[in-house]
Amino acid sequence: MTYDATGRLLLTPVDREGPDRARRLRRLDVGLRPEPAFDLFADRLADVTGAPYAMVNFIDGTRQFFAGLHTPDGDRRGDGTARYRARDHGYCPHVVMRRKALVLEDVRDYPRFAGNPVVDESGIRSYLGAPLLDDCTGLALGTVCVVDTAPRPWGRAGLATIKTLAGELMEVVRRRGDLIT
């Protein structure tokens, strides 16, 4: 945890790997634009978990980008505005920094996470996400995640599911990297 100049607690951890992650994402040519394959993967995440929202999220040093996005109304905003979030909005940056999956069945039960802007701005109440770990660099490039506006008992089954799906997506990213190098 860090504090700003006024002594206020900052909820999003400092990300010293952001510049390296941004370079790796550019090299892999991911996280730069919406991709139909990632949108389809987000649709699958939502279908498998029953969540109304699902994302394939890549994080550089300053922002999050949903290269894959599923919403209940199907609005993926082709102009990309719905696909960007500040780095301090949401829970994915915590997953990236921890390099471990995160299960929040009701975010209000966790003081560290309850004050996140997505709770008030978007009404997010539950979160389930897993990191996208790059074997070549050791970096967590982003996450696959699902969220709901109601508390959700994700449980161990949800945790196992999201971790498996993250591994599946990283196989796709790895194959893409093999074509580049």
pLDDT at 144: 98
Q: What is the pLDDT of residues 100-122, one digit of tens each?
A: 999 999 998 988 887 777 777 77
Domain region containing 49: 2-180
Q: Is the pLDDT of residue 135 over 60?
A: yes
| 114 and 172 Cβ atoms separated by less than 8 Å | no
Q: What is the pLDDT of residues 48-80, one digit of tens each?
A: 999 999 999 999 888 899 999 999 987 776 555
Which candidate, 139, 131, 109, 159, places its Cα nearest to that of 16? 139
Count structural domains, the chain.
1
Which candidate, 54, 129, 137, 65, places its Cα nearest to that of 96? 129
Q: What's 119's domain CATH number?
A: 3.30.450.40
Alpha-carbon span 50 to 72, nearest angstrom: 11
Q: What is the pLDDT of residues 22-47, one digit of tens each?
A: 999 999 999 888 999 999 999 999 99
Element (H, E) at 65: strand 63-70
